[in-house]
Amino acid sequence: MLFNRRQILKSAAALTVLPMAARASNHVMVASETIQQLAPEGFDKTRVWSFGGSVPGTPIRVEQGARVQRMVDNQLSVPTSVHWHGIRIDNAMDGVPGVTQEAIPAGGSFEYDFVVPDAGTYWYHAHNRSVEQVARGLYGPLIVQEADAPDVDQDLVLMLDDWRIDPETAQIADDFQNGHDLSHAGRIGNLISVNGSFDPTIPVKRNERLRLRLINAANARIFDVGIQGLNGWIVALDGMPLENPVPISESFPLAPAQRADLLVDVDAVSEETASLVSVERDGAFGLAKFAVSGEISATVRPAPNPLPPNRLPDVSSFQSAPLHRMVLQGGAMRWLENARIGETELTGRELAQLGRFWALNGEAERPAEPFLKTSVDSIHRIEFVNETAFPHAMHLHGHHFRLVDGDGSLGPWRDTVLVDRGQTQQIVLMADNPGDWLLHCHMLGHAASGMMSWFRVA
Ligand code: C2O
Ligand code: CU
């Protein structure tokens, strides 16, 4: 039965009903405004929007194959929805207003109920006016544990975000429609947080092996992640295990919505600090510190085995699969000359007035017809041709895909691929999940200003 917790609390019966609501509390996920110390000590707390009372939202951690049920109770003053990013989910639970459900109205609720087929690191986030709602904090981690998990001393989720904060008030700048951001790299912030706080410190011991589950929840910032005082491997990307762990010898990019699972050994000497850093043109800044005290053993473990694989479809016959081109167009320095919104062809100037700066194959809004329409269980290649002057993080809903490397070999499985300026990147997917699925840039301002498409599997 649906119930609205806010109405219950307001009602005279609140006291008698509360214990029941409390019992159901791990099933109910409340979206509401809250305050949190995001900025460094000395700054005020920040008003944020959250799922479950904090940013990141309530962590969801389940076993592979489990059923996840969450009644999302929207106590915000605006409609919202929840998308379970990277889960190969039943279409009705995908959380896309206007495609798979109506947005959950203010004061309303929606029951999400789905099974998680794959182990790995995923996340959930609002999918209504995401450019604002994710920037205000509506996201959280969704961790699906392997039955046969690797041997580690700590399993840590590190959720990265990039906030734009007014330094005077420590409040979130509300210029979500800023045309300069939309038409350039997106909303880049001025305060980096990990798990909702600035440069947190995590206690570790020397020679511990840590699993670091990195999740980039930022609107637009591409982190160039590096480690110091730690030694290790990338073992999974976007939730999916790599066939062979990749030793981390230099920094690597983590685009919006992407995840990376690392297995790292603490090799800093005691009393020293190890760090997760972001490498910038003018040096590296710390994302999180690992304060090393004591040691668990005198030696480090041998190199890890690959994580147990998920049951992903066989796409090895991809060379004969149809190839669909998706051209990424527009943005500053490559301004659109024209593009369509629905049936209407508009000039670049008209589009800019509507806040549209980008297009996918000449469409500056999610088109009425899908980019790709396919029967279930067929293999397709998509070629993203980035004609713009900016990188884009292209995300497919409901499916993982494999990268096709330049030499024609198959690369890792992903759900979000970073396509650099001027780059062409081919992917291959088995369209095995029936439904209507979005395909969009995960720089959320780009998605809001034209980079939005969809495909139909039926
Ligand atoms: Cu993570 Cu359509 O989104
Ligand atoms: Cu983009």
**Above 70 in pLDDT, residue 21?**
no
Where a domain ends, among 263, 295, 327?
Answer: 295
CA dihedral in degrees (104, 109, 113, 119; nearest 10)? Answer: 70
Tokens of 213: 């589950």
Mean pLDDT of all residues in 256-273: 89
Q: Which ligand is nearest to the CA of 134?
A: 1
Tokens of 103: 């947005």
Single-letter residue type at 68: V
Q: Which ligand is nearest to the CA of 330?
A: 2
CA-proximal residue: ligand 1, atom 3 (nearest) = 85
Q: Give the Å distance between the CA of 100 and the centre of ligand 2.
A: 23
Interatomic CA distance for residues 154 and 147, integer angstroms: 17
Q: Which ligand is nearest to the CA of 220?
A: 2
**Above 80 in pLDDT, residue 197?**
yes
Mean pLDDT of all residues in 24-39: 89
**Above 80 in pLDDT, residue 427?**
yes
Co-location of 329 and 285 in the same domain: no
Label residue 283 by pLDDT band (50, 70, 90): confident
Co-location of 202 and 246 in the same domain: yes
Average pLDDT of the chain to the nearest whole number: 93
Residue 268, pLDDT score: 74
Which residue is listed with tokens 């700048």?
173
Q: Give the Å distance between the CA of 167 and the centre of ligand 2.
A: 27
Co-location of 348 and 282 in the same domain: no
Cβ–ligand 1 contact at 440 (below 6 Å):
yes
* Cβ-based neighbour number of residue 189 at 10 Å: 18
Label residue 18 by pLDDT band (50, 70, 90): very low
Co-location of 64 and 156 in the same domain: yes
Examine residue 42 and state whether it is found in any structural domain, yes or no: yes
pLDDT tens for 43-92 read 999 999 999 999 999 999 999 999 999 999 999 999 999 999 999 999 99
Co-location of 211 and 85 in the same domain: yes
Co-location of 328 and 264 in the same domain: no
CATH assignment at residue 35: 2.60.40.420
Distances (CA, A) of 156 to 180, 206, 290: 36, 16, 12
Label residue 297 by pLDDT band (50, 70, 90): confident
Co-location of 212 and 147 in the same domain: yes
Domain that holds residue 223: 28-295
Co-location of 277 and 376 in the same domain: no
pLDDT tens for 205-219 read 999 999 999 999 999
Examine residue 304 and state whether it is found in any structural domain, yes or no: no
Interatomic CA distance for residues 139 and 32, integer angstroms: 12
Residue among 191, 278, 192 nearest 228 (CA) = 278
Residue among 237, 223, 346, 335 nearest 288 (CA) = 223
Examine residue 305 and state whether it is found in any structural domain, yes or no: no
Single-letter residue type at 387: E
Mean pLDDT of all residues in 143-154: 96
Examine residue 220 and state whether it is found in any structural domain, yes or no: yes
Tokens of 40: 């460094």
Interatomic CA distance for residues 418 and 228, integer angstroms: 25
Q: Give the Å distance between the CA of 275 and the centre of ligand 2.
A: 29
pLDDT tens for 353-405 read 999 999 999 999 999 999 999 999 999 999 999 999 999 999 999 999 999 99
Sheet with 401-404, side-by-side order of all strands: 358-360, 323-330, 378-386, 424-431, 401-404, 410-414
Residue 8, pLDDT score: 32
Examine residue 176 and state whether it is found in any structural domain, yes or no: yes
CB 324 within 8 A of CB 380: yes
**Which string of DSSP letters, residue by residue, matches 205-230?**
EET-EEEEEEEE--SSPPEEEEEESE
pLDDT tens for 321-360 read 999 999 999 999 999 999 999 999 999 999 999 999 999 9
pLDDT > 90: percent of the chain: 89
Mean pLDDT of all residues in 425-442: 98
Residue 416 CA, closest ligand 1 atom number: 1
Cβ–ligand 1 contact at 125 (below 6 Å):
yes
Interatomic CA distance for residues 215 and 161, integer angstroms: 9
Interatomic CA distance for residues 310 and 424, integer angstroms: 28
Co-location of 237 and 363 in the same domain: no
Residue 24, pLDDT score: 44
CB 398 within 8 A of CB 94: yes
Residue 273, pLDDT score: 87
Our count of domains for the chain comes to: 2
Angle made by CA atoms 112, 115, 117, in degrees to the nearest 5: 145
Q: Which residue has the higher pLDDT, 21 or 75?
A: 75
Co-location of 236 and 358 in the same domain: no
First CA to last CA distance, the chain: 31
Residue 138, pLDDT score: 98
Examine residue 19 and state whether it is found in any structural domain, yes or no: no
Examine residue 69 and state whether it is found in any structural domain, yes or no: yes
Co-location of 235 and 343 in the same domain: no
Co-location of 65 and 189 in the same domain: yes
Element (H, E) at 7: helix 5-10
Examine residue 5 and state whether it is found in any structural domain, yes or no: no
CA-proximal residue: ligand 1, atom 1 (nearest) = 85
CB 239 within 8 A of CB 146: no
